Amino acid sequence: MTCPYLDYRDADGEQEFDHERPYCEIQGSFVSPMEADLCNDRHDFDHEADCAVFQRHHLDADQLVPGLELQDAD
């Protein structure tokens, strides 16, 4: 299954490309063709297991900052 955050775009702002390029919606940037293999789960890749960007995006806020405890200021 392809990562749901993978898009293909044929332009970047005003610059148009002659072919579509892989774009990660979480990172807000284009990814390399090699990274797109991971995004497309090609060659035994699994984006849920192998992509740190995907994993960080799906972590709970508590897991993003280990050890941080929000305390009431009162």
Residues lying near ligand SF4 in the complex (CB under 6 A) are found at 3, 5-6, 24, 26-27, 31, 35, 38-39, 47, 51, 53-54
Q: How far is the C-alpha of 47 from the C-alpha of 4, rounded, in Å? A: 10
Q: How far is the C-alpha of 74 from the C-alpha of 67, rounded, in Å? A: 21
**Nearest CB to ligand SF4, comparing residues 21 and 53:** 53
Amino acid at residue number 32: S
Could you give the 3-state DSSP secondary structure of residue 48? helix
Instruction: Give min distance, CB of 42 to ligand SF4, in A.
Output: 11
Amino acid at residue number 26: I
Instruction: Give min distance, CB of 70 to ligand SF4, in A.
Output: 27
Instruction: Give min distance, CB of 5 to ligand SF4, in A.
Output: 4
